[in-house]
Amino acid sequence: MRVAVAQPASTDDVAANLAAIAQLTAEAAEASAELVLFPEYATYEKKRLDESFARAAQPLDGSVCTKLASIAHRHGVTLVAGVVEASPDPLRPYNTLAAFSPDGTLAAAYRKIHLFDAQGQRESDFISPAPNAEPVTFRAGGTVVGLMTCYDLRFSELPAALCGAGAEVLALGASWVPGELKTEQWRTLAAARAIDNAVFVAGACQAPPVSIGNSLVVDPQGAVLAQLGSVPGLVVADLDLDRIGSTRREFPLAGQRRLAAGG
């Protein structure tokens, strides 16, 4: 599978963000990517969360997702992007990763489970957590893709559950808040989750100044296959899915675990 990881510098200008997504998706399709991954809050983003996210929220059949579906269909790719989804709480929408198939249909929607209440920020003041803490996977071609969002990366249980549900690629959309050692932690945790589960991790992160950039693709042994720096852009990597089986045979961790999560 060929995957493209896009690193935009999204703002609160929805139209401009959608135009950037369209352009980067066109570039990814030109490079023969099958799966194109965009960050958390790809369609609406600010330096800090506030009440405007609720005003920007839409249902998954609203104009924003309709445009994303059209982009996926136009270029014949599977597109994953972070959107602000309306929830039953009008003041606290969902932080959602929406995946669209090449035919323009909604393949999956993952509402963020672990909200970023850390580093002096409280995402939960403005965003509703997923009502059900369940892993979300979908198929892109013949590949099973699991969805994760930003702070989820710090919780090993979710990637393990996704891989238990068959995920071969963990698609991680993020807007990783800058700070001391945060870039090092992003890289380390992405590699750790790949190694923990013998799976590919594709992490799309917002560019500075809102986030740290450094979007990347990691293989099941923790090797970085492709990486961006601090400027907006796109990187493409080929995933040899046979690496999953060979790594799991070499390190059969799933059959050797003796402690259940939370046990």
Query: Known catalytic residues?
Result: 40, 112, 150
The Cα–Cα gap between 54 and 42 comes to 15
Apex CA 48: angle with CA 47 and CA 50, to 5°? 130
Please give the C-alpha separations between residue 175 and each of 35, 222, 249, in angstroms, as whole numbers: 19, 22, 34
The Cα–Cα gap between 16 and 168 comes to 33
The Cα–Cα gap between 239 and 81 comes to 20
User: What is the DSSP-derived secondary structure letter of residue 129?
Assistant: P
Cβ–Cβ under 8 Å, residues 41 and 95: yes
In 3D space, the residue among 121, 100, 94, 239 whose CA is nearest the CA of residue 176 turns out to be 121
Cβ–Cβ under 8 Å, residues 147 and 111: no
Please give the C-alpha separations between residue 238 and each of 33, 69, 174, 224, in angstroms, as whole numbers: 9, 24, 21, 12
- Identity of the residue numbered 216: L
Computed from CA positions of residues 150, 156, 161, 167, in that sequence, does the dihedral angle turn out positive or negative? Answer: positive
Alpha helices in 105-255 (DSSP H): 157-164, 182-197, 242-250
